[in-house]
Each structure stands twice: as C-alpha cells, then as structure tokens.
Structure 1
Amino acid sequence: MIEPVFSVVIPVLNGAETIEEELDALAGQQGVDFPWEVIVADNGSTDATRDIVRARVEGFPAALRLVDASAVRGAAFACNAGAVAAVGSSLAFCAADDRVGPRWVAAAHEALQGAEAVGGPIRQLRTPHDPNAPILRYSIEHAIRGDCPVIVGTGNLAMRRDAFLRVGGLDFSMTRYGGEDNEFALRVMQAGVRPAIREDVTLFFRSAPTLRTEIRKILGSAGAEVDIWRKHPDQFPFENGRGWLLAVLREYPGLMLHDLRNRNPRSAVRFTLRRLGNIRSKLTGRRRPLPPPRLIDQVEMPRDITKAP
C-alpha cells in the first residue's frame, strides 16, 4: 500500500450532528490524483461520533482513521495528536462542523509544492449550501492583506509537516475560544512562514447556533486575545501598556458611530462585547499567571481506535 503524502486532520468532540457533512465534502473531493488520508482525532466524544466515522471507513476514497485524542481536552491537543498520527509530508486541518470546498485537498496539495503553508477564503456555511456565500472578514486573505493582525489558524490551513513541527504545533495550554489558533498563527508569522493564498482552498464556516453561544464565543475570544498579548509582550507592547484602556475609551465612540452610519449594528455590538471581554480579562488576568506553553513535543502517539473494541 502506498503511503499517503497528504494528511487531513479533523479534531472533534461530540460532532455527531455535523461530521457527516464534512466527511461527505471530503469524500467528494475533485482532482485528487495522489494518496491521502483523513485522521479524525476524537477528543473524548460521548455521542455517536466514533460510530459514524467507523461506518464511513469502508469505501471512503482516502484512508480514513480514527484516533483517541482524549488525553487532554481541547481542539489544540486534538490537532496536535492528529498531526502526530499522520504520515503525510503535508498536513491540513478542518473542523468537524464546517465544510471544505470541492477542490480543497487538491488545491492545497498543489500549493504546498511551492509554499510552506496555504489558506484561502472562509465563507458562511448556509442551508441549503451556497458556494458563493459571503466571505467572512477573518479569512486568511484579509490577514495577509493587513486587515487583521493574525491569520486564522487551523480552521482552514494546510502546512508542510516540517514547518508545522518547526513552529511547535498548537499550544494546548491556550484553553479559551480561538486562542490556540491565533497564538499558533502568530508563531507561524514570527517563524517567517508566509502562507500563500488559493481561492479554491475554500472552507465554509458554520456560525454559532444561538445568540447566547455567539456571545460566549466573542467574550471567550476576547479573553484569549489578552492571553496572547501577555504571552507575547514583545509583539504587543502597546496592548500591555498603561495607555491601552485610555486609547480604547477614546476610539470607541468614533468606531461605534462609523458602524451605525453604515447600518451595521451587528458589528457595533460585536466590537462592544469584544472590548468588554478584553477589559475584563486584563483586570482579572493580573491575578492569574499564564501556564507554560504545551506544544506538540509533549504529545505522544495517539491510540488508533478505527476498529471498535
């Protein structure tokens, strides 16, 4: 059997309601003429996730494996465990509740022949599926063009294995929503890895199912942002300085007015919640020391559980 050269890693925790759609999208990939594999890194699911994956192994167009990534709770650890289990010289990551585009695998593999990392547009996942749905702002192409400070991490990113290991993988001490991805992305950029952009490396992102969940994610990501500032003070001297809060209070009215004039109250609310989350985390973070980094070199080979015990 020819070993895969391209490995797709899907971290998952209780993804029974959504993982079928992602597996369907991967099974329907176009233009793939090389050996590849899909590794589902299960973070301790208690629903039917494992059974669903096992039922898809027979007849799947790529080698489909399920590994036990439950030793540490969190998507960052599961991504690292999946990467450790992978055999491909290239790694690609996608979430169990999203949907990759029809040429996601082939386009990423092609791009990695001349680049260390590649990403592409992240669009809204709609029902029924809309291949031309709006592109979300925090897509990798916006980051490279300078519209946001860091790229989105493993949501829609393929990377040469040697580059992923050189950066250290994801830091699974980052436990707040989005923190592991954005902190990883910062280290990617610091290491001199500049991701290429491919329009056909497209991922469709599933929004939060309820307003309450979305608010919780916004506040969590705001706290994670402060953790990143503290973890990398040399990169964020202003955000760690005394003048940050005063600057936020000074800029807030103007930004709110801009959003309201452009009839974008949703953006205004998100900005308000994010800044409130930042402020709360800065105030409470003074009393909470950050844990030391936990990177891929601390991850052991996960147990293969493709076959039911």
Structure 2
Amino acid sequence: MQPLDDARRAQAPCSIVVLTYNRAATVLETLGKLVALEEPWPIVVVDNGSTDGTADQIAARFPDVAIVRAPRNYGAAGRNFGVASIDTPYVAFCDDDTAWLPGSVGRAVDVLQRYPSVGVVAAHVVVGPTRRDDTACEPMATSTLPSDGLPGPALLGFMAGACVARTRAFTEAGGYRRDLFIGGEESVLALDLVDAGWRIVYCREVVTHHNPSPVRDVKQRRALLARNEMLSAWLRLPLDLAWRVTGRAIRAMAEQGVLAEALPAALVRLPRALLRRHTVQPTTVALWRQMDADRQRRRAIPTLSIG
C-alpha cells in the first residue's frame, strides 16, 4: 500500500485521534487497521505517559502518524491534547482497542457537513471477532428524545472512543474533565454540548470495531464508572436528580462489590465538584429526565432465558 501523500492529508476534513496508555501491542494493531483504510485521514496518537515504550514503537512502525507525548496519564482528558494539535473541522476518536470500519469516518463527516446543528455523531459499535452489536447500541437506536430534522435518533450521550465530533463544538465545550479521569467521562461533556445547543445523533451506518484489550482491570473500571456517575450528577444536574443518581450509584457500588473503592474516591472529589457545579438549563434537564425514564423502562422489561 502506498503512503498517503501530504497534499491529500492536508485537504482532509477530519483527523483521527487515538488515546493510549501502556498498551503498545494493542495500539500498534489498531494503527495497522487505521492506516489500511486508504482514506486520507491524518492520525494523531496521544500517548498518556506510557512506560512501556509505546510512543517509540509507534514512531518506528508508523512514521506518518503524529504522536502527542503527554507527560503523565491524564485519562480521558488526554484526548484534549490531541484535538489541540489538529486543524481539521472534524475529529474521529478511537481508543487503542477500537478501529473505524472502511467508509465510516467519511459517512460521519457527511452527516456533520449536512447537519450544522449536529456536534457529535455517535457510532454503531461491533465487538470482538464475531462483531456482535455492543449492548449500548440498542438504547441509542431506540432513544425517544426529539429527533425531528436529524439523520438518526437524538441522544444525550455517546461513547468516547466511538464518535466523530465537530472540533469547534468539542473545543468550546471544554473537552474532557481531568477530575473524572476515565469511565463514563462523556456524561458531563454531552450535557454541556446539548446545553450549548448542539445535537448528538446516533448513526448506525457509522461503525467502529471494538476488540477489547486483555490489559484491563474490570473491577477498577466498574468502580470508576460508579464514581463518575455520581460526580457527573453533582457537577451538572439539579439537586433532586443529583441525590437520585447518588443513591443509584451507591447501590451499584455495593452490588458490584466496589463500594469500598468507589465511594471514598467519589467523596474525596465531591467538594471540588461542588465548587465547579453548574446546573444545566431546564430544557436539558427535561431531556435528561426523558432519557433516564427510557433507561428505567428498559431495565424493567423482563428477559427470557433459554435452556
């Protein structure tokens, strides 16, 4: 395969930003898939202070890939450095274990160009060698939020490593917060985007493949998700909803066996969250209530087991 020439890259309307931390083998495999797309998307990898030689291995294997070397692990906020380094109007995000399927970034760019109110295109995610649908796809596809005039269901969230954003919208909303680190880090950003008038839309034709890395701590991930659900509520939601989410988060921590880790971590960060608290507008709160009601209805539907 011939490398893409600089002129085609300079004309590309979208860049791909990949976030990685201490997963050299995984990110090298992902980059192999991305450069094989034969589409003119400039690729930027943000190395979140890896200690396994990730950045040097990328530079040796993929000299055309730009590398942003963060001095330490900033979690999801590392993506902000990647966005700051690009000059394209759109940005497609990848984790180090997700890769866009051919044509998908182009389809997302087309949506963003044709619908100026759309700030984020949320992708359809397929998982593993069988490419089964991610469990998050069905709730996105069946969202009941008002979607008149949009090319797909409207959302109040997205998956950080499986979306294409309007660079201006991302930057003006402030990107990802360092204090949430990682795990449900999209919640506050999604609320801020919608509160500023941007729309988030799910497009099934925009597809990314998630091949979960074996280098992951599932228990830690659950603790971070529960902690950040609680903190995000206090950062942006009115008091009644913040207390409601807090109760749910604590119950989830207990059920998942992460209460001892997650609750102290949330409480120690709560004073700072309260100092930076900014409640979203009533229209955005109404959308959150509708989204939450949909989520509770789905959980209430009994499932049938076979066997």
- Common fold by TM > 0.5: yes
Are residues 1:232 and 2:242 paired? no
Query: Do 1:119 and 1:197's aligned partners in 2 also have CA atoms closer than 8 Å?
Result: yes
> 1:143 Cα shift?
7.7
Partners of 2:249 and 2:97 in 1: CA distance: 34
Partners of 1:79 and 1:41 in 2: CA distance: 7
Q: Could you say what the CA RMSD is over the residues aligned between the two structures, in angstroms?
A: 3.6
Partners of 1:280 and 1:65 in 2: CA distance: 36
Task: Work out which of the residue numbers 221, 227, 236 in structure 1 matches 2:225.
Answer: 221
Task: Work out which of the residue numbers 5, 16, 19 in structure 1 matches 2:24.
Answer: 16
Partners of 1:271 and 1:207 in 2: CA distance: 26
> 1:193 Cα shift?
1.8
> 1:9 Cα shift?
0.7
Match of 1:160 in 2: 166
User: For residues 202-249 of structure 1, what are the alpha-carbon distances to aligned partners after superposition, in whole Å with 9 as ceiling and x for unaligned?
Assistant: 122344748x92222112200110001111132x623426x974x899
Partners of 1:248 and 1:86 in 2: CA distance: 37
> 1:44 Cα shift?
0.8
Query: Do 1:208 and 1:214's aligned partners in 2 also have CA atoms closer than 8 Å?
Result: no
Match of 1:137 in 2: 136
* Structure number with higher strand proportion: 2
Match of 1:257 in 2: none
Partners of 1:171 and 1:152 in 2: CA distance: 16
Residues 165-180 of structure 1: matches in 2 within 5 Å? Answer: 165-175=171-181, 177-180=182-185
Query: Do 1:117 and 1:196's aligned partners in 2 also have CA atoms closer than 8 Å?
Result: yes
Partners of 2:58 and 2:51 in 1: CA distance: 13
Match of 1:110 in 2: 110
Query: Do 2:76 and 2:178's aligned partners in 1 also have CA atoms closer than 8 Å?
Result: yes
Are residues 1:121 and 2:124 paired? yes
Residues 1-309 of structure 1: matches in 2 within 5 Å? Answer: 1-2=6-7, 3=10, 4-29=12-37, 32=39, 35-58=40-63, 63-70=64-71, 72-115=72-115, 116-124=119-127, 126=128, 129-131=129-131, 133-137=132-136, 141-142=140-141, 144-145=143-144, 150-175=156-181, 177-207=182-212, 209=214, 213-234=217-238, 237-240=240-243, 245=247, 272-273=255-256, 277=259, 281=263, 285=267, 288-290=270-272
Partners of 1:270 and 1:25 in 2: CA distance: 37
Query: Do 1:7 and 1:91's aligned partners in 2 also have CA atoms closer than 8 Å?
Result: yes
Paired letter, 1:89: P
Partners of 2:269 and 2:58 in 1: CA distance: 43
Residues 36, 206 of structure 1: alpha-carbon distance in 2 compared, 3 angstrom cutoff: closer
Paired letter, 2:26: T
Percent identity, aligned pairs only? 22
Secondary structure, aligned partner of 1:199: strand
Paired letter, 1:237: D
Query: Do 1:138 and 1:151's aligned partners in 2 also have CA atoms closer than 8 Å?
Result: no
Gaps of 5+ in 2: 1-5, 146-152, 277-307
* Structure number with higher helix proportion: 2
User: For residues 158-185 of structure 1, what are the alpha-carbon distances to aligned partners after superposition, in whole Å with 9 as ceiling and x for unaligned?
Assistant: 111111122111111212x414222212
Partners of 2:177 and 2:241 in 1: CA distance: 24
Partners of 1:167 and 1:287 in 2: CA distance: 21
- Report the number of matched residues: 257
Query: Do 1:122 and 1:205's aligned partners in 2 also have CA atoms closer than 8 Å?
Result: yes
> 1:140 Cα shift?
7.6
Scaled by the length of structure 1, the TM-score of the pair is 0.70
Paired letter, 2:255: T
Scaled by the length of structure 2, the TM-score of the pair is 0.70
Gaps of 5+ in 1: 253-268, 294-309
> 1:51 Cα shift?
2.6
Query: Do 2:20 and 2:95's aligned partners in 1 also have CA atoms closer than 8 Å?
Result: yes
Partners of 1:79 and 1:144 in 2: CA distance: 27
Query: Do 2:24 and 2:53's aligned partners in 1 also have CA atoms closer than 8 Å?
Result: yes
Residues 240, 11 of structure 1: alpha-carbon distance in 2 compared, 3 angstrom cutoff: same
